[in-house]
Chains A and B, each alone.
Chain A
Amino acid sequence: MNPRSLFIFLVWVASAGFFLAGQETGEQAGPFYNVDTEKQVEGTIRELLFEPRYEDRASFLILILEEKKSGEVYRVEISPVWFFDRDLHIGESVKIVGSLYDKEGTRYIIARRLQSAGETFLLRDSRGFPSWRGGKMKRAGQHKGRGI
């Protein structure tokens, strides 16, 4: 076996090994609303973003939220942009209940309930079913208008 052939063989073995290893441990499961990791976070909005989620099904509103107590930063997934009709502003205080997960060193929350300025938005039901797929968003409190 010449050095060139040996190199190719080693590359192939390494690739196969990597593939098989990945298969054994399973592909990294994507984020879903896991009721086991539900958490409440109260913090201040530091940034508002729009990001595609769930294989680009829709553009989602994402809040970069800094927790008041610990100063920890979360990326909070709210809902598709078209669904959320309340103005949110940088610096505004919000309270979030949602499912927490970590990915690549970043803490993510899929929001189920959002409270802000006396209004409560139910974005998902208790098992995580998205309100935008099952009728109108339930909300309580004073309605302050549309748009982000």
Chain B
Amino acid sequence: MKRKDFLLFFFLPFVGILVIIFVFSTLSRSYIQKKTEELVREQLAATAEILRVNLAHFLEEGSTPRDILKLYEGDGNIYYLAILDENRDILAWSSRYEGYLPYSSQDAGRTAPWTISSPVGRIFNWLSPFTRRDGTTYFLYLGYSLKSLEEMTTRSRRNLLIIFASLAAVGVVFFLGLFELQKGYLAKSKEAEEARHEKDRFREISAFTSAVAHEIKNPLNSLSLLYELLRKKVPADIEPEVVEGKSEVQKIARIVDRFSDALLPLRLDKEKVALREVVTAASEALAREIPRSSVEFRYAESRPIRLLADKNLLTQCFFNLLRNAYEATDRGFVSVEAEMRRKRITIKVVDTGKGITPDQLPRVFDPFFTTKDKGMGIGLYLARKIVEAHGGRIQVESRPGQGAAFTIQLQGGSHE
């Protein structure tokens, strides 16, 4: 799935859900806040009513407005309080804040409560009349803190934002993870698809090559027999040429055999083998074919490693890898280094040869790919086929002029 499709099918609906949640939560919160404010107003109205009754009572008892106000100065929620006469002139007042009594002539005509903002939060204001028994009218001006309500509102808003942000963060992480997983899955699917195409192509090539090999081998066998009959009948002075001709025919037959063998599916005959023995056998077999006086061979393993493998095929694999390494190396060394971690064996075949160019690197394991004059391009292909038949992987790293390193990874190793 492309990034655009991912946005359309996953991310946008998620964002839409978030928006719906946010809008719904905000509306709910606004409604609850409105209702709470109404409740608070009712509560404050009741408080003011009690105050008015008390004030009327104290005034009737003969207390001065100033003395009465002092009784209420300790209430933390009452920011300011004033008693006004019937003309709405202030008789006495008290305030928590020096000189702060936000009452003006414009407020004198108010009959309903009002709210003002201040640096210490919103303040509920109410100017309400009360009457003494003798009929004298007074007014109570009250400034009540809405700090608790604001704290509750702020906390509610903060909690909503935290929940929303958490939801968004979790969602983003989840969908990014999903996107990455999907991307990985698609990449693997693509690889698998390419591998399947490659196998199909190879199967076709194999079938074609096998048929060609079969068709070539029959005449070659006949030709070889003819050469043998001819050798017995020709004069002695031309017999060497006949023998050489037979030898060349047999060489062609061997080449055809190698092609055929390389294309046949491998059948493993597994047994417990020591890695050192396999590599040594391959190295010694190669030494009989290629003289390598100027190239040193090294073998290293942390502890002796054993594995379940087809000994002959694995020897063939290392033979091919070592031959490839020696043929590319004029001086220096060819080394095989093996280590094992948690039954996973990693074997590196390293040389100090001419290296592989970047354009050749992806093709070195392809069948019939070679850069040598006399090569057939089967050795490394066969090595990869043997490793993969054992459930392993083989990779190559190289830079031109800096040698090459073939890394084989196999499972099921153990120490002796």
Query: Which A residues lie at the B interface, using CB under 8 A?
Result: 19, 22-23, 26-27, 29-36, 53-54, 57-58, 77, 80, 99, 110, 124-125, 127-131, 133-135
Contact = CB atoms under 8 A, between A and B. Distances in A.
A32 B83 contact: no
A129 to B, nearest CB: 5
B118 A130 contact: no
A32 B99 contact: yes
B120 A26 contact: no
23 contacts: A26-B92, A27-B65, A27-B92, A29-B89, A29-B92, A29-B93, A30-B92, A32-B90, A32-B95, A32-B100, A32-B101, A33-B100, A34-B103, A54-B98, A125-B119, A127-B100, A127-B102, A128-B100, A129-B119, A129-B120, A130-B98, A131-B119, A133-B98
Given A35-B104, A36-B104, A26 B85 contact: yes
B97 to A, nearest CB: 5
A38 to B, nearest CB: 10
Given A125-B119, A135-B119, A33 B93 contact: no
Interface string B96-112: 01111111110000000
Nearest to A77: B99
B174 to A, nearest CB: 42
Q: Which 9 A-B pairs have the closest CB atoms?
A: A134-B119, A26-B91, A32-B101, A127-B102, A29-B90, A54-B98, A27-B66, A33-B99, A35-B104
A27 to B, nearest CB: 5
Contact of A129 (B59, B62, B102, B105): B102
**Interface majority SS on B: helix, strand, loop or mixed?**
loop
Given A26-B85, A30-B92, A133-B120, 11 more contacts: A19-B62, A26-B83, A29-B92, A32-B93, A35-B104, A54-B99, A124-B99, A124-B100, A127-B100, A130-B100, A133-B98
Interface residues of B, number: 26
Contacts of A26: 65, 83, 85, 89, 91-92
B64 interface: yes
B116 interface: yes
